[in-house]
Chains A and B, each alone.
Chain A
Amino acid sequence: MTGDAARIRRQNKLGKGLFLLFFIGPALLIYAVYNIYPIFATFYYSLFDWTGIQTAKTFLGLENYANLMQDRVFFRSLGNNVLLVFASVFTQIPLGLALALLLQSKIKGMRFFRTVYFLPFLMSTVAIAILWMFIYNPTFGVLNELLADLGLQSLQRSWLGEKSTAMGAVIATICWQFVPFYMILLRAGLAGIPEELLEAARIDGCTAWKTFTRIKLPLLMPTIVTSATLSTIGSLKYFDLIFVMTEGGPDSATELMATYMYKQAFRFFSMGYASAISSCMFILAFIAAVAILSLDRLRSRGGY
């Protein structure tokens, strides 16, 4: 009897497993073909001297990686990526949170502002890049005109044309683009906080600031961690906006790992070396993601 029951239970489970696989299968297959396989293929190609336009490859072992470790441009681009990570995490998320909190308050016309604030995220990256190129234009651009109107001619710059200002100008644009995304994410998080908790806090005479630091912020932590992970990984892989706005220039001032990889692959025809760069990007993004998630685990064990 018990054997039968166990068998039936097992069969049920098996059926359920197959049933699940039926649903996951197609997506998993596509994921494997278009994501997992290319990752391993990239590692494989990074071991070769290969132009990408011919079939002949020369096996180099780890020589591409050894060269990479002595490549000044690579380290400059890595530095720019790190800068972008910090700028993104420490401006996009706080600003997104501030906007999310603002949008929660009951002011007239809030729905209008909500739409306006979300607009940048709806625009295509290339359109944003071109828009901001016109804003930064040293002669015709809005930014320099504005500075002139305020009598601040001394602050006028050719924003994208000078090594010292180009990276900052590009980072500002990237933040403008992504703040709305975190705003929506965090707004959803805020909406998920039970009303009773906030009501109880109100009854207990909790100030707005204390409600924020003691209730909203801790309960938002999982969302913030997700945002930080997304932001970090996104910044490490960032490519499109920079490529359109500056092509990594002037004089490599805004070069990122991804733009450098593109140049190696499609301008210099060193596909092997480019694969080594993208492998490094993968490893770095992976380490960053694991680090953030394990910090988060520590945090939740600590009970804060």
Chain B
Amino acid sequence: MTAMKKWVMILVSALLVFSLAACGGGATNSGSSQGSSSSSSSSSSSDSGSQAVSSGEKKKLTVWYIDTGKRKELIEETVQEFMKAHPDVEVVAEQIANDTYKTKLPVAMGGNNPPDIFHSWGGGWLKAFVDAGQVMDVTGKIDADSYLPAALNLATFDGKLYGAPLAMSLTLFFYNKEIFAQYGLEPPKTYDDLLNIIDTLNANGVAPISMANKTKWPGALWLIYLANRVGGSDIFNAAFERRGGTFDDPAYIKVGEMIQELVDRNAFVTGFNGLDYDTGQSRQFLYTGKAAMELQTSGYLTVVRSEMPDFEDKMGIFGFPAIEGGLGKATDLVGGVSPVFSISSQTKYPDEAVELLKALTSKELAQKYVDHAGVVVAVKDVQYNDPFAVQMKELLEQSDFLQPFYDQTLPPEMAELHKDTTQALFGKSMTPEEAARQMEEAAQRMLGN
């Protein structure tokens, strides 16, 4: 009896050891292949070699992107055209949902199985991968002159270019023209105008500003704009690059106070810190006429068009107003670039990947984006016809400074802290001084003195 048990035990544990050893072996294998791939890129992982064999003689490139709706169709079209023009290349373009993507790409990079071309927003998020040696330097391989410099800057680190931009997003006010007309309001030129509008709307029982701040970035848009208008164009970069500026600058504290004053003035809809942007909880207020405006990125337009096309007729846009006595210019814009396409340093076919990268950020695709998706693009010499896009492009042309979203520029942990402290400012669970102190403390730890 006991002897039998012993036998079974031995077998079972042998099986266990075997399976563990198999895993351990796998782990060391991938480790060593990574070691060699860092010395010579041609000898990268052996398993992608077997992939190429299984798909015939074609060179296989994978693309991960997050664009949805019409933009997804346009990317698919471009990929098809690319394959027609390059019969020896097979492109697998995979669309991934935004939030999933943020998890999926790091895992793929960590597991040494990244896509050849991947989406990013440039800035700090991309830099984390650049620092990890996962991104190919494309300086000189693509024509930098065909992109807007403000957009290209977000993919440039230490003077080297690590990707090419396609579309841009600007942050603007989207407002209900009917409500504004009803109460005799005009889009504000100055911040005081905006405060007057808020008071008028409140007096008439309309919530002035809608916001869904559960995911924290919508509130951060306010902080970024206010900081720009109060502290000037350079306030963030001076603090981020650690050249004289700090995140506990009096301007940042003033901005925190202004945010809390807005909250006290009932500028925002009730319970905004718990509302979810993705499920439309802020747009609901505008669609139903319960709120008059919302500060959002230009992607708002695409969402409105698919979600509530009727609202488009009532909708207008205006830029963030100037603040009297502030150092910033009223023409400065807060925005970002999405997508920036970059090439993995582990790609087996760097030349083909560069060609595909060019196709994915070409003038032709950019023109289609403008015509069919109503966005502004990071590519030069494109014709605008969509009335909203024309207006956005005008704002962009007047502007000589684009302030990128902080959370796409800061290192990931500080980006999170920036959004957390801003949400806490809006929720009045943190004082402006405390928020600024935490940011500066993290900056000193992560960015140096």
Contacts and interface: CB of A to CB of B under 8 A. Distances in A.
A271 B110 contact: yes
A139 B290 contact: yes
A216 interface: no
Interface string B32-60: 00110000000000000000000000000
Interface string A113-138: 00000000000000000100110111
A158 B429 contact: no
Interface stretch (B189-197, B270-278, B335-343): B270-278
A10 B16 CA distance: 24
A161 B274 contact: yes
B16 A36 contact: yes
A146 interface: no
Contacts, number: 154
A33 B367 CA distance: 50
B273 A249 contact: yes
Contact of B20 (A32, A55, A252): A32
Contacts of A252: 420
Interface string A6-42: 0000100110111011001100110011001100100
B4 A17 contact: yes
A161 B8 contact: no
Contacts of B19: 29, 32-33, 37
B412 interface: yes
B279 interface: yes
A10 B274 contact: no
B413 A28 contact: no
B142 interface: no
Contact of A246 (B35, B112, B274, B279): B274
Interface residues of A, number: 51
Contacts of A247: 214-216
Contacts of A25: 15
Nearest to A54: B132
A251 B128 contact: no
B31 interface: yes
B1 interface: yes
Contacts of A13: 1, 3-4
A136 B274 contact: yes
A163 B415 CA distance: 22
A54 B427 contact: no
Interface of A: 10, 13-14, 16-18, 20-21, 24-25, 28-29, 32-33, 36-37, 40, 51-55, 130, 133-134, 136-140, 157-163, 166, 246-247, 249-252, 263, 266-271
30 contacts: A13-B1, A13-B3, A14-B4, A14-B7, A16-B4, A17-B5, A21-B15, A32-B20, A33-B23, A51-B110, A52-B110, A54-B109, A130-B276, A130-B279, A133-B276, A136-B274, A140-B284, A158-B273, A159-B271, A160-B274, A160-B275, A163-B427, A247-B214, A249-B216, A250-B274, A250-B429, A251-B423, A251-B427, A268-B416, A269-B412
Interface of B: 1, 3-5, 7-8, 11-12, 15-16, 19-20, 22-23, 31, 34-35, 102-103, 106-107, 109-110, 112, 128-129, 132-134, 207, 214-216, 269-276, 279, 281, 284-285, 290, 412-413, 415-416, 420, 423-424, 427, 429-430
Given A14-B4, A51-B128, 20 more contacts: A24-B12, A32-B19, A51-B110, A51-B132, A55-B35, A138-B270, A139-B270, A140-B284, A158-B272, A159-B274, A161-B270, A250-B273, A250-B427, A251-B423, A251-B424, A266-B103, A266-B106, A267-B416, A269-B412, A270-B413
